[in-house]
Amino acid sequence: MPKLLIATNNPGKAAELRVLLEGCGWDIVTPADIGIELNVEEDGETYEENARKKALAGAKASGLVALADDSGIEIAAMGGEPGVHSARFLGDEATHGERFAEIDRRLADLPKDQRSCRFVCVMAVADPASGETKTAEGEVRGIVADRPRGESGFGYDPIFWLPHHSATMAELPEHEKNIISHRARAAAIARQTLKELLHAHKEDDPSHVRH
């Protein structure tokens, strides 16, 4: 089974992607699994730029097909911020508690109908053989919660309220989150790209020929 590198150093994201890509036909590994370090500066102006950059860096460093994503929360009342800068909002050293507090300060006294937001995820799959990348995008819409709730998930999940579920993303059971999340929706599309690449790799690998 060919290896697929999940090009991230974020253990929460890697664990989530393993679940979302389960059964895709690839042996999923992380940089730590294969003994490499990936330190990619996420300086792109779009999610797609960052995702492609990380996937290509992973493919080049490992020689493996690599998948990376970039995601963020976009808050309407903040003009779409923090958006592509979500992971670095208030600086690299800021805690999520500090980020949540600043968002709450900026949205203070706004009613629910003015606290709309969305999660966006763009995934990129890079093939080292061709140097090509393909991308997939997913999104989910919600409301910024009045306070963090829930212990599951990571990142901004505790403040992302889903009205139809009466819960934040961090309060959802894992199996439910992995159906409706922005990352789940992007992964569902990316699986088709991985399926096509898997077929190509099997065609090129004589060890897959049945005798």
Give Cα 202 to chain centroid, integer Å: 27
The count of other CB atoms within 10 Å of the CB of residue 8 is: 22
Which residues fall within 8 angstroms of residue 14, CB to CB, at 6 or more apart?
6, 8, 30
Strand pairing partners for 160? 144
As a three-state string, the secondary structure of 142-189 is EEECCCCCCCCCCCCHHHEEEHHHCEEHHHCCHHHHHHHCHHHHHHHH
Give the DSSP letter of residue 1.
-
How many other CB atoms are found less than 10 A from the CB of residue 123? 31
Catalytic residues: 70
